[in-house]
Amino acid sequence: MNLEDLDKKYILNTYAKKYVNFTKGNNATLFDDKNNNFIDFTAGIGVVSVGHGNETLSKSIYEQASNLIHTSNLYSIEPQIKLAQKISHLAKMDMAMFFANSGAEANEGAIKIARKYGQKNFENKRYKIITLKNSFHGRTITTVKATGQDKFHTKNFSPYPAGFSYDNTIDDIYTSIDNETVAVMIELVQGEGGVLPFAKKDIQELEIFLQKNKILFMVDEVQTGIYRTGEFLASNLYDIKPDIITIAKGLAGGVPIGAVLCKHKNIFEAGDHGSTFGGNYLSTQASSTVLDILVKLKKDGTLDETIVYFTKKLNEIYIKYQNLFLDEVGLGLMLGLRLKDSNILSKIVALCFEKKLLVLRAGENTLRFLPPLTITNDEIDEGFKRLDDVLANI
């Protein structure tokens, strides 16, 4: 049986996938089993932050795996503790951490913190969490319900947990808060919802209001974190210090990990939460190495130069194809082109694949770009050349 037949026989049908067999990668370039090269403007949906086949990361993973991969969280884990210290330092916030395996798990942890905070700090327990329309917070039953997109709330998986409501705008949040509201959870740039950044002033004003009213401000940085928007956290870019931040995706360059950062260091007690694999030796050592690589790129100016160059090439495409695009959106290397006609989005993504360029879709009408943060100018040039070839024939 060929790969496609085997996949269909043994893998549950949860993804509309292309049956290509990638066998190796070099930074932002992937190679299949026929040695065709693909320019990767997706980074595994924002995960492969330091590129494919990164030698420094590979060496670090090998050395750690040769000694210890896992013991359990019943014992202290040195790379986990040092990673938490490093993250707190880079975030410029005094926060304690819980390590999980994904963004959804990180958001589950954040929601549990909010529920316990609502139990401990109010005479009548508060438990409601406000999120935004077009948000995306995960695929578990609870984080699907936290997600403000109706298409995820199908009857197939109901009933869903109570306690979530969705507002259209930041301004709407103020009037939605009631005496059972414990937290507001937002993405500073909505990724899956259409690469939509919120205005800095609006976010800062919301933070002040929530702090005054002792309501938790929770920021989902699963996609925006780890230098994706140009700073370590989008929260740094917005000059805010939320009560809770969640991160994942680019943190370990492809090794599964997620984390909850929390100002309220004593909110949990032993037994309140846990994860068998979360924060083990392998994932936290990989994460620490990824951060070392990215800190260097940020400090020497390479990351900022890459953002400027990628944005310049994207703008050239936007200007050239004004007949197709409404707007350029995003921050850093989390970018998108908003289409006038949403019906051609799937066609563009498919044709890009045929031209051996990997791109993403977001929302109803946005062509999304999440390249590795280490992408070279040559890879950028080649990728946009392939995109130009596609758009010229639309």
Give the Cα separation of 328 and 394 in Å (integer).
19
Residue matched to tokens 């197939």: 156
* Residue matched to tokens 């070099």: 26
**Do residues 100 and 278 make contact, with C-beta atoms less than 8 angstroms apart?**
yes
pLDDT digits (tens, 9 = 90+) for 221-255: 999 999 999 999 999 999 999 999 999 999 999 99
What is the spatial distance between Cα 198 and Cα 379, in angstroms, rounded to a whole number?
30
* C-beta separation of 282 from 255 below 8 A: yes
- For 332-341, the pLDDT digits (tens) are 999 999 999 9
pTM score: 0.96
Residue 231 structure tokens: 């700073």
What residues in the chain have per-residue pLDDT under 50? Answer: none
pLDDT at position 377 is 98
DSSP 8-state secondary structure symbol assigned to residue 151: G
Instruction: Fold for 68-299, please state it.
Output: Aspartate Aminotransferase; domain 2 (3.40.640)
Looking up tokens 């890879």, which residue turns up?
379
pLDDT of residue 146: 97
* Homologous superfamily of 3-53+301-391: Aspartate Aminotransferase, domain 1 (3.90.1150.10)
- Rounded CA-CA distance 310/330 in Å is 12
Under 8 Å between Cβ of 274 and 73 = yes
What radius of gyration, in Å, describes the C-alpha atoms of the chain? 21
Task: Give the model's pLDDT for residue 347.
Answer: 96
Strand partners, 244: 218, 262
pLDDT score at 1: 84
Residue pLDDT, tens place only, 305-344 = 999 999 999 999 999 999 999 999 999 999 999 999 999 9
User: How many other C-beta atoms are found inside a 10 Å radius of the C-beta of residue 183?
Assistant: 25
pLDDT at res. 138: 96
Domain ranges of the chain: 3-53+301-391, 68-299
Report yes or no: 298 and 304 within 8 Å, Cβ to Cβ: yes
